[in-house]
Amino acid sequence: MPPASVAAFTDTYLPTVNGVSYTIQTWRDRWRDRGGTMDVVYPGSDAYDPDDGEYPVGSLPFPMYEGFRVGTPRVPGAVEDVDVVHAHTPFAVGLGGVRLARREELPLVTSYHTPTAEYADYLTSRPRVERGIERIAERYERWFLSQADAVVCPSEDARERAVGNVAVDTPAVVLSNGVDVEFFAPTDAAAFRERYGLPSGPLVGYTGRHGYEKNLAEFLRAAAGVDATVVVGGDGPARDDLETLAGELDLDARFLGFLPREELPAFYSALDAFVFPSPVETQGLVALEANACGTPVVAVDAGALSNTVDDGVTGYHYTHGDVDGCRDAIRRVLDDRASLAESCLARREQLSVEHAVERLSSLYADVVEKTQS
């Protein structure tokens, strides 16, 4: 029996590179490998030419969140004849997925990638207004998730957050986004170091979105007491403030800007420690990518990172807000780098996206069977 045909609706997609867009693209590629179709509906942009099976809808830039576009809840006719609708985000394009599922009486799967309330601080800097927006976002999220026949959560922490908003008879299942372990693997990083002028000696770093919610200033303050060069990849609204802080701390810090995906394995492999201070992650995919490359992680003991990183095996935790604790954890990882790296590599297959897509296939088959019965 061929795999279910799927229409994936998302409010964030290429050329924006983040955990959601990367996951959808990777799942789509693996679904094709299995002989199935997974079409993608996303906010269109002149910066990206759609591939076969990718359907842009009209959109406008969202001025308060760089790289994010506000799409329309339109349903392209080409995606109407599918077996399953999968809404990865709850905003306008995601609503298009809900519309399609209800109109055609199709099973609806939603993914709980990010709590909607966390976008409130991009809309206002006034605490009272922000709290009001958060309450509205939480009520809306509850309604959105209640429309689903199944909710996919990338970690147990995300499931615990979502479960109170899910209808009693709707399963909320933990299903890791998975990592392409063929791509994310240990590699010789000498050329990467030379290309970016990185010095010899220990490197500690991070790559990803430079959002204020990522708490990256805590990492920089902790690194000020460590004998290592700080290497930061990526970009975002907090970058200017982070560069200013690094200068004030007199850090040997290199901000590399956006890194092409093909350079990420070398970036991770070059690091002696990947530092991830964000307390708001629902999985923390970049931590798993670093581990797949043999690089241990210093992670805040909050959100999904409490479970994504196995303390003393794939890295070390520290308490959120404890700069000294973060500094100590970085030093522990540097001291134990060899043994931690060995443990990371021993767990690579457990992280694979193939394993994730196999479980996704079973979930789709379950919701199709329940809808048809």
| Amino acid at position 248, single letter | E
DSSP 8-state class, residue 102: H
The topology under which CATH files domain 6-178+352-372 is Rossmann fold (3.40.50)
Task: Tell how strand 172-174 and strand 150-153 pair up.
Answer: parallel
At residue 114, does pLDDT exceed 80? no
pLDDT, tens digit, 9 for 90 and up, residues 222-261: 999 899 999 999 998 899 999 999 999 999 999 999 999 9
Q: What is the dihedral of CA 47, 52, 53, 56, to 10 degrees?
A: 30
Residue 68's pLDDT is: 76
How many angstroms separate the CA atoms of 286 and 154, rounded?
13
pTM for this model (two decimals) = 0.85
The gap from C-alpha 55 to its chain's centroid, in whole angstroms, comes to 22
CATH number of 190-351: 3.40.50.2000
CB 30 within 8 A of CB 64: no
CB 114 within 8 A of CB 91: no
Residue 124's pLDDT is: 47
How many angstroms separate the CA atoms of 356 and 309, rounded?
18
Read off the tokens for 119: 């976008």
Read off the tokens for 228: 């290592």
Q: Do domains 6-178+352-372 and 190-351 have the same CATH topology?
A: yes
How many angstroms separate the CA atoms of 103 and 77, rounded?
13
Tell me what the mean pLDDT of segment 364-372 comes to.
Answer: 92
Query: Domain boundaries in the chain?
Result: 6-178+352-372, 190-351
How many angstroms separate the CA atoms of 67 and 278, rounded?
20
